Amino acid sequence: MAEATLTTRMQQTIPDLPPAFRADRTLLALDLGTTTGWALHGADGLITSGTVSFRPGRFDGGGMRYLRFSNWLGELDRLSGPIAAIWFEEVRRHAGTDAAHVYGGLMATLTAWAEMRGVPYEGVPVGTIKRFATGKGNANKDAMIAAAKARGFRPADDNEADAIAILFWALETKGGMQ
């Protein structure tokens, strides 16, 4: 996997959730982008998180980032899964055209991957995630990082912090999509 980097920041158990949500289900939260933030609730109840880069290499064709993303999802499913449910940050507005194209391609790849495997997925609006994590629907990147740190994580950047917030939102509001 050329150019893909993976960083794991921390593992944490969730003692305050009912046993049905602490074990036996692998849940994935994603902040999609060239640098994708991820947080995984493993079947063992541990949470791991990090970032992975899908920046294309110098000689890559236009679709290589999406093939790498699909392969990464497959590896995650194989090594930590099976993945029972996926949540991702649902972005409705991008600052630039390129970011919008990358997001759309990653979202299409994710939803197709999940559909092929019968894995339920759901987009979560940006404001919902920010409000859940910080109390403010328009919280900035530093506030999201601070919210993740308050939960005991050490996110590398706002992408990882957003994924952590999405995972906890899903666990606390959706119960892991039973």
Q: Is the domain defined by 6-174 classed in CATH 3.40.50.2000?
A: no
pLDDT score, position 176: 52
* pLDDT exceeds 80 at position 13: no
- Global pTM reads 0.84
pLDDT of residue 8: 46
The more confidently predicted of residues 23 and 83 is 83
Nearest Cα to 76, choosing from 49, 115, 111? Answer: 49
Nearest to 11 by CA among 164, 117, 134: 164
Burial class (CB in 10 A: 0-12, 13-18, 19+), 92: exposed
List the chain domain ranges: 6-174
Residue 4 has pLDDT above 50, yes or no: no
Tens of pLDDT, residues 99-151: 889 999 999 999 999 999 999 999 999 999 999 999 999 999 999 999 999 99
Q: How far apart are CA 169 and CA 174, in angstroms?
A: 8
Q: Which two tokens stand for residue 75?
A: 């590896």
